[in-house]
Structure 1
Amino acid sequence: MVLITAAASGIGLAAATRLSREGARLALSDLRLDALEARAAELALPRDQLICSATDVRDVRQIEAFVAQAAGAFGRIDVLVNNAGIGRRGQVAGLADEDWRQVMDVTLDSVFYGARAALPHLTRTRGNIVNIASISGLAGDGGNAAYNAAKGAVVNLTRAMAVDHGPDGVRVNAVCPGLTVTPLTRKMRETPAVMDQFEERIPLARAGEADEIAAAIAFLASDEASYVTGVSLAVDGGLTAWTGQPVWRPKRSA
């Protein structure tokens, strides 16, 4: 039984789709219940295998209620996918308090709240957590200070929880996507100058698809990854493999 936050679109929806195909019962949450229910209907799961909940992940009580609802309905929790996250552009010197706080509330605090509520259940089932971090949590970006800080904290929180809860049989890992085709990246992807720079820097020369991120989530959540914990898996087309220095390529013969 799998809980997924921010599941109405993008990576969360892709993860729900992939895991439903693999037979998982799902508890899905999103701020927008109408959109969530519309997308969830496309999964064609029986009514007793699916819960949809309107949840504001900034509110600890709402997250706790979502976890309790899922545990009560299904009798167990096996996997928590902490997927919610937002960004606000800006350098530290010019970043407004409310923007910093909102990024931290949604992107970092929700991971803490969700994990804390789910861990007693996961300890009983020897389950696992998959946090959706970012390659922006593995290195810095220009003008993205709040998001870098929040995702970096998610990466290290993942490690800390893996150490703390490994003896209980609970695995905790993170997936770190690079540029991915989702509604949140649409504006960026529709700007040719930006995409040209990405394609120059990504060895696979393209953005990732949400289904490709979902495949990594499904692996880490599965028994196939039974000896994997504390890992932050970059799924980025090779972007973080590159130092950023000029690339030498051999001349092609005519």
Structure 2
Amino acid sequence: MDLNGKVAVITGGGTGIGAAVAEALARKGAAAVVVNYSRSAEEARETVARLESMGCKATAMAADVSDDASVRRLAERVRADHGRVDALVCNAGTTRWVPFPDLEGLTDEVWQQIMGVNLMGAFYCARAFAPDLRAARGAIVNVASVAGLLGTGSSVAYGVSKAAMIQLTRGLAVALGPDVRVNAVAPGIVATRWHIDRVGEQVFHEMTAKEGARAPLRRTAEPEHIAQMVVALLESDMVTGEVLVGDGGRHLMY
């Protein structure tokens, strides 16, 4: 896919990886980028302002991806405003920090919140935008995690949600082919506020330095690195149903 002149929708697009993807698409010449958010309204507006300064038409649109009706309203608004959708990046995600041994901490409410956003949100978005993506012969990229491939992550529920998202990616690649390609990226630790705000900058630096020393590339990913991967998958016309890991090779080490 040549991204020049295309219309893209990014869920959770106001901060972190989502904002980096939005800017990467603008640099590629995207005609319009819809920045979806649920709570980060101010950050979404700031992202939109940066995109517009780059010459890209951008709009911040609120929607709770875990609610099917909200997602369908989002799709209707995008359709009315732009008339087409070429690329969908399902980046919206959530977690709850529950130590793995604390099974009692994995309440029904925790499971439902995490699965609702991380898994059902990606499905609802793919379903709502499928007609537009089919018409455009477009592409979807889901932002999963190495937690969906390994026994790691912020909680058991989070890892399960990302593993399910990876399988959803494969299933959607079959369901939406040959018109729509569907792939996923699986980042490791990324230097975003999600991680940094939880432990503080000093602890995050110490933690990532220790982990990074065991990875072949010896560094921690920035949001821009994951955005590179997302763009690469959007542009790769013969790739579908694949998962691209972005952790500096850390997953290769025992």
How does the TM-score come out when normalised to structure 1? Answer: 0.88
Counterpart in the other structure of 1:8:
14
Distance 1:156 1:50 in 2: 31
SS, match of residue 240 in structure 2: coil
Counterpart in the other structure of 1:247:
none
Contact 2:169–2:241 (8 Å) recurs in 1: yes
CA drift of 1:95 comes to 1.4
Contact 2:147–2:153 (8 Å) recurs in 1: no
Residue type of the partner of 2:80? G
CA deviations over 1:93-122 (Å, ceiling 9, x no partner): 431221221111111110011001011111
Q: Does 1:67 align with 2:75?
A: yes
Counterpart in the other structure of 2:188:
178
Selected match of 2:218 from 205, 208, 219: 205
Distance 2:62 2:114 in 1: 19
State the structure with more CA Rg: 1
Deviates more, 1:54-63 or 1:129-138: 54-63
- The equivalences for 1:1-254 within 5 A come to 1-24=7-30, 25-31=32-38, 32-44=40-52, 49-90=57-98, 91=100, 92-141=103-152, 144-167=155-178, 169-186=179-196, 187-188=198-199, 190-191=202-203, 194-222=207-235, 225-242=236-253, 244=254
Distance 1:97 1:200 in 2: 37
How does the TM-score come out when normalised to structure 2? Answer: 0.88
Q: How many residues align?
A: 240
CA deviations over 1:174-199 (Å, ceiling 9, x no partner): 01111111110103463155334412
SS, match of residue 180 in structure 1: coil
Contact 1:8–1:36 (8 Å) recurs in 2: yes
- Runs of at least 5 residues in structure 1 that lack an aligned partner in the other structure: 245-254
Deviates more, 1:26-35 or 1:145-154: 26-35
SS, match of residue 81 in structure 1: strand
CA drift of 1:205 comes to 2.1
Contact 1:89–1:145 (8 Å) recurs in 2: no
Superposition RMSD in Å: 1.9
Distance 1:142 1:20 in 2: 31
Contact 1:51–1:70 (8 Å) recurs in 2: no
The alpha-carbon distance between structure 1 residues 122 and 21, as it changes in their structure 2 partners (threshold 3 A), is: same
- Runs of at least 5 residues in structure 2 that lack an aligned partner in the other structure: 1-6
SS, match of residue 56 in structure 1: coil
SS, match of residue 208 in structure 1: coil
CA drift of 1:48 comes to 8.3
Residue type of the partner of 1:151? K
Deviates more, 1:112-121 or 1:92-101: 92-101
Contact 1:20–1:45 (8 Å) recurs in 2: no
CA deviations over 1:207-253 (Å, ceiling 9, x no partner): 1010010011111112xx000000000011001122x1xxxxxxxxx
CA drift of 1:39 comes to 2.2
CA drift of 1:45 comes to 5.2
Contact 1:199–1:206 (8 Å) recurs in 2: yes
